[in-house]
Structure 1
Amino acid sequence: MTVLPDDGLSLAAEFPAATHAQWQRLVAGVLSRSGKDVPETEAEDALSTQLEDGVRARPLYTGADGVPDPGLPGFTPFVRSGRAEGNTAGGWDVRQRHRTADPEAVLTDLENGVTSLWLTVGADGIPVDALGRVLEGVYLDLAPVVLDAGAGTTAAAEELFALYGRRGVAADAVRGNLGADPLGTEARTGTPYDPEGFPGAVALARRCAGTYPGLRALTVDALPYHEAGGSAAQELGASLATGVAYLRALTDGGLTVEQALGQLEFRYAATADQFLTIAKLRAARRLWARVAEASGAAAAGAQLQHAVTSPVMMTARDPWVNMLRTTVATLAAGVGGAESVTVHPFDHALGLPDAFARRIARNTSTILIEESHLSRVIDPAGGSWYVETLTDELAHAAWEFFQEIEREGGQGTALRSGWIEQRLGATWAERSKALAKRREPVTGVSEFPHLAEKPVVREPAPAEPSGGLPRVRRDEAFEALRARSDAHLAATGARPRVYLAALGPAAAHTARLTFAANLFQAGGIEPVTEGSFEESGATEVCLCSSDAVYEERAAEEAAAFRAAGAGHVVLAGRPAAYPDADSYVFAGCDAVAVLSATLDRMGVS
């Protein structure tokens, strides 16, 4: 054994080991000094954050939390990776989506880092008969193709098969996925897709299993449930129920369990909540391994995952911030072990991406793989007590939701009865409250908006499938307010304005003045701080100062502004003994309701 020389860096070796109880005592002391007296045993609860699905993020995790053994990469329960080597053999598959027949964009992507193609095919995408033109110049034995054709999957698959034949591509060299997803199509469109079975999908699966060993036939797309406002556990639970329905159909159609498992690829959303995304992908593999084990094919239960940066988190305002969101989401997808990752361009919410947006999207993965070396470690988050605990808790919550769906009669029945939509809607309603109160901030929209920002204009994108589950975005409530302001600007030449009255010295008013300016701009209302109220062009005033100054001057200032013509006086601070204010704005108020009411009073339609 090598004995290291004493270099004087003994780190914490000379200090006594700290105990959990000591830490709790210190935390309780800090909380007490901040005015929150809690028992030492409840100190952690006071600092915990309530997440969705009944999960709480605690401030401290230790080895005593007792989570299940995640196993080894590539072995059941596949928590750490579906493959023994993880993504270390060159990184994950960089898969970009194309919704229009643009051969030049396809080739540009493939020549600059993209390794597979995700093609939206059909009436609102690439015409089936244009597949050959779109893939002109593409080496189909090197670049896997994934189809997304909804109810037209069979026709699109036949065209792709014909293309492979014309190009002379060997059957064992074909890679990708035909994208058959009957229940996902039903979730998107609301049209029942052969409730008695999925003969088209089963036929394609049999063909792939018999002739194209590297090609899968079915996709279990969980994005419809995520985009309808579902939580991480609901997204996972719905994907499990869908996958189980497909397993039943495939085995009934003559495939073995192992063959059926090999025909499925799962698609999940990756969000800017990096730890939740990492835990979700790890939990998904564990849960699917449990399904495979119950089906008698534990060794074949490695889930193939395709992660897509969340459309829900993308914003139309200040879209440049989306680059940061997708970077964090891509990092999480890679760390979480997804085999393929699609990065939505930063202008996704505005229409079709331009060449610059596509370039940034594909380079996001390239930087993380090549420059940050993110793929050189298998399961980088493994061993983190926080991640392991979050993975376990999320897996239990998702399994519970999956069991509820099964009790409703399975995914198809739960979709057609409206049960799925109701559950997802309830989750989104709760989250919308947090968004409205800015407890879940949206940078550039509900926090730090830029009213003078020059709009980013893009060519309209083909319509997404509709008629089924709704599609939501985090920015939608504030976007509606900003749209009202934009219309007012176009009609009158000016935005609605509010005068911010700074009372007392800067130390007294700066914090609340900044808060109020940020809040009103989130609704498209321009704050005016210079000059007099009469010169501002505003019809309302917001008093900004400290509680001490309010006690001395609030009543007098409110009366003076009303005399000067102010129709409404707002006070920046919590409702207190200031009856002369007409309303209040404060941290945690319902900003959407406040701003909507303000625009109503200003006559902004």
Structure 2
Amino acid sequence: MTTASTTASATAFAGDFANASRDAWLAAAEAALKGRPLDGVISRRTLDGLAVDAITERVPPRVVVGRPAGARWVAMTRIDIGDPAAANAQALEDLNNGAAGLSLVFGEPGTSAGVAADTLDRLDQALEGVLLDLAPIHLDVAPFGGRQSAALATALVERRKIDPASVSILFGVDVLRDLVRTGALPRSWEAMCGRVAGAITGLSRRGFTSPVLTICGRSWHNAGASEVQELAGVLASATEHVRGLVAAGLSVETAADAVSFTLACDAEQFASIAKLRTLRLLWAAWRRESGLPDRPVHIHVETSRRMMTLRDPHTNMVRTTIAAFAAGAGGADSIVVLPFTSAFGASDWDARRIARNAQAIILEESNVHRVADPSAGAGAIEAFTDALADAAWGLFREVEAGGGMLAALTEGSWQQRLADARAARSAAIARRSAPIVGVSEFPQAGPPLAVVSEAGPAVAAAPALKPLAVEITDDVAGFDAMVSAYHDGASFADIRAASKPIPSVVAHPIATERLAEPFETLRARNEAAPSPPSAFLALVGPIARHSGRAGFIRNLLVAGGVDAVDGPVGAEPEAVAEAWSATRAPLAILCGSDDGYAQVGAALAAALKARGATVWLAGKPREGRDELAAAGVARFVAAGDDALDILRSVVDLPNRQSAGAAR
């Protein structure tokens, strides 16, 4: 299952190090960790159960063929400002300062979610000064707006009298993505495929060569998909589309050549690199199984939305930079880096500049694009690529055996797979075994940083509806009619009004959630409360003995918006209990070493409980837990516990209404 070229000799870089064997690396790692278990550091299992071993011997390079060696990927920027004039200003700013292409997000007049380029004049305004034969464009279309947007882009190319063959446009059509975004198809599956086939034929006759289908893995990713599910999902979706297009009259080769893919890359660097390499292998295998000649497929990447955070948003710069590097190293043909404030909605000029510059720095400083498949020969990534390919191909075959992706979506089985994966990942995040820096791990205390967002000026209302002079049918004639209508001044609304929906296929829309949302929602609610929840830290022993667990508890409490009140250091149990009485905190948490707990833990817990405190303890001592529980410790809190459950339990404890109340 490879589209690869193999070179006979590997790099001799590792040979520059004496004893550069796996055993030598393991010995060095064990020495550096000073007795800490090695397995959890250098190896792990993914959500799919695949083993990832960081220390793996190099193998002969197998170059996965994609973007040519030395060719830069297209560094795109996301243009989603509603007003076409403002969107144009941003587009020109980006293109004049390092961007090579644009991802144009289509919106509607009166909304802020995307450019209101719903007529030929407005699209022309949004792309004024953009040389379409030099700057590749990705159309990020509204649900079921792919054919309309493609026809509008066609009309613009014709208006400007540009050779269509010189234009690179990813037209963004994916009917199944739109089905799970809205819950229903506006026409039967067969009619929808007829529409797409008509668009492919109409564009081809005019001389366009870019792929019309952009099978979207972002939807699966943002709904919680694992790497295997994202890969199997796009493969099954592409297969369903090709099958429908063949039924609509296209050849298998024409339909397959119309396919491109969009994936999401996150801060799991090696997994993201392997995911892109795997997709190329899978699609090459698919083409061979279909009797088609090998041909590289365009892979467009957007940095992951689900990994973005509202709290401590500047940490998103690190996440998106890692993701962009991984996408480039993995062989992406075009990349969009989301601004670090994208979780807030609209992003300001500065956030967009930083996103644009991230790609420029990666390209100019790392030179990763100058090497064909930089990870070829890296044992860990090669092994993970093969494991992903086998697992994703197996899951793809399961979906096909069940009737294909359309059946999986209408039955709900695919949505259930994604929900199960999302639940498993959410559990790991809640336990902080999958920590989110700035949110669940190392959160900043205090109010959130102010983030400036710019929605842009108000967008003029949509033109009044007007009847079309042409009939919009579900075939190539209908596509040609749309192009003609746009030349005559028609809008998206006019086209929709001329083609009333007749829903016939329904599916449950997929749920999406950013990974940080549960922690962020809890913290925001607690910080906004008239009397935020709090917890008292009963510090056991000197700083050197209690600082580790006290720091662990403080981080945990801050992550949930719970105030931490430090008690006195080195005080007797009664003095600590007295200090607790002067606070409004209903909860006291013992923080110290196991030795300290053995010496004074039970007495301290008993004194606090006698005053009316709910008593918890940081850690799970190997000895004396029964005695501590008998003295009043109601819960032992340690790494690996469900942090969200702990924080919610703190919140559920009612605040004491008066400080210093007699106990």
Number of matched pairs:
562
Aligned residue number for residue 486 of structure 1: 527
Question: Where does 1:7-406 land on structure 2 (aligned, <5 Å)?
Answer: 48-62=43-57, 71-72=62-63, 80-83=64-67, 85-86=68-69, 88-89=70-71, 91-99=72-80, 100-101=82-83, 102-123=87-108, 124-127=113-116, 128-129=118-119, 130-147=122-139, 148-192=141-185, 194-196=188-190, 197-300=192-295, 302-406=296-400
User: Contact conserved, 1:482 with 1:524, CA < 8 A, in 2?
Assistant: yes
CA distance in 2, matches of 1:209, 1:170: 12
Q: Deviations over 1:263-321 (max 9, x none)?
A: 12100010100000000000000000001111111323x12100110001001110000
* Distance change in 2, residues 1:82/1:252 (3 Å): farther
Distance (Å, rounded) in 2 between the aligned partners of 1:544 and 1:599: 19
Contact 2:347 2:454 (8 Å CA) reproduced: no
Distance 1:232 1:32 in 2: 30
Q: Return the alpha-carbon distance in structure 2 between the equivalents of residues 212 and 529 of structure 1.
A: 72
Give, in whole Å, the separation in 2 of the partners of 1:204 and 1:333.
Answer: 30
Aligned residue for 1:557?
604
When residues 34 and 159 of structure 1 are mapped into structure 2, their CA distance, relative to the original with a 3 A threshold, is closer
1:369–1:63 distance in 2 versus 1, CA, 3 Å: closer
- SS, match of residue 376 in structure 2: coil
Deviations along 1:423-447, one digit per CA (max 9) or x if unpaired, are 1111111111110000000000001
CA deviation after TM superposition for structure 1 residue 104, in Å:
1.5
CA–CA separation in structure 2 for the residues paired with 1:602 and 1:278: 48
> Pick from 559, 567, 583: which aligns with 2:635?
583
Among 410, 413, 430, which residue is 2:424 paired with?
A: 430
Match of 1:527 in 2: 564
CA distance in 1, matches of 2:101, 2:17: 49
Task: Return closer, same or farther for 1:32/1:365 CA change in 2, 3 Å cut-off.
Answer: closer
Residue pair 2:21, 2:57 contacting (<8 A) in 1 also: no
In the TM superposition, what whole-angstrom CA distance separates every residue of 1:92-150 from its partner, at most 9, and x where no partner exists? Answer: 10122222232211221222122222222243533312322211222222222222232
Letter aligned with residue 544 of structure 1 = C
Report matched runs for 1:424-463 at 5 Å: 424-459=418-453
Amino acid across the alignment from 1:545:
G
Q: CA shift at 1:152, angstroms?
A: 2.1
Please name the residue that 2:619 is paired with: 573
Q: Which residue of 1 aligns with 2:509?
A: 468
Q: Give me the whole-angstrom Cα distance separating, in 1, the residues matched to 2:580 and 2:52.
A: 46
Shift of 1:60: 3.4
Question: TM-score scaled by structure 2?
Answer: 0.79
Q: What's the TM-score, normalizing by structure 1?
A: 0.87
Residue 172 of structure 1 aligns to a residue whose secondary structure is: helix
8 Å contact kept, 1:209–1:263: no
Deviations 1:24-80 (A, max 9, x none): 8x69998999598xxxxxx9699631212220122532358xxxx8754xxxxxxx2
Quick check: 1:45–1:58 contact (8 Å CA) kept in 2?
Answer: no
Q: Is the 8 A contact 1:318 1:453 kept in 2?
A: no
The 1:63–1:207 alpha-carbon spacing in structure 2 relative to 1, beyond 3 Å, is same
- Note closer, same or farther for the CA distance 1:526–1:81 as it changes in structure 2 (3 Å cut): farther
**Distance of 1:445 and 1:35 partners within structure 2:** 26
Q: Per chain length, whose mean CA-contact separation is higher, i.e. which structure has more relative contact order (CA < 8 Å, sep 6+)?
A: 2
Cα offsets for 1:426-475 (capped at 9, x unmatched): 1111111110000000000001111314443455979xxx9711112111
Distance 1:259 1:70, change over 3 A: farther
Counterparts of 2:340 and 2:644, CA distance in 1: 25
Q: Secondary structure at the match of 2:171?
A: strand
Report the identity percentage.
37
- Contact 2:267–2:322, Cα closer than 8 Å, also in 1: yes
CA 1:23/1:351 → structure 2, altered by over 3 Å: closer, same or farther? closer
Q: What is the aligned partner in structure 2 of residue 515 from structure 1? A: 552
Greater shift in the superposed pair: 390-399 or 530-539: 530-539
Q: Closer, same or farther in 2 for the Cα pair 1:530/1:212, shift >3 Å?
A: farther
CA offset at residue 344 of structure 1? 0.6
For 1:558, give the aligned amino acid.
A
| Gaps in structure 2 of 5+ consecutive residues | 1-14, 457-506, 569-578, 657-663
CA displacement, residues 365-391 of structure 1 (integer Å, 9 cap, x when unaligned): 000001222212221111001110000
Provide the rounded CA distance (Å) in 2 between the counterparts of 1:234 and 1:443: 25
Q: CA RMSD in A?
A: 2.8
Looking at structure 1, the residues matched to 246 and 31 of structure 2 have their Cα atoms a distance apart, in angstroms, of 60
Distance 1:18 1:189 in 2: 54
2:537 maps to 1:500? yes
Offset of residue 219 of structure 1? 0.8
Stretch of structure 1 that moved more, 568-577 or 525-534: 525-534
Paired residue for 1:547? 594
Change in 2 beyond 3 A, CA 1:603/1:168: farther
Separation in structure 1 between the aligned mates of residue 401 and residue 32 of structure 2, nearest angstrom: 45
SS at match of 1:556: helix
Query: Quick one: distance in 1 between partners of 2:95 and 2:25?
Result: 53
CA deviation vs aligned residue, 1:183-219 (integer Å, no higher than 9, x gap) = 1111222213532351221111112223233332111
Which amino acid is 1:413 matched to?
A: A
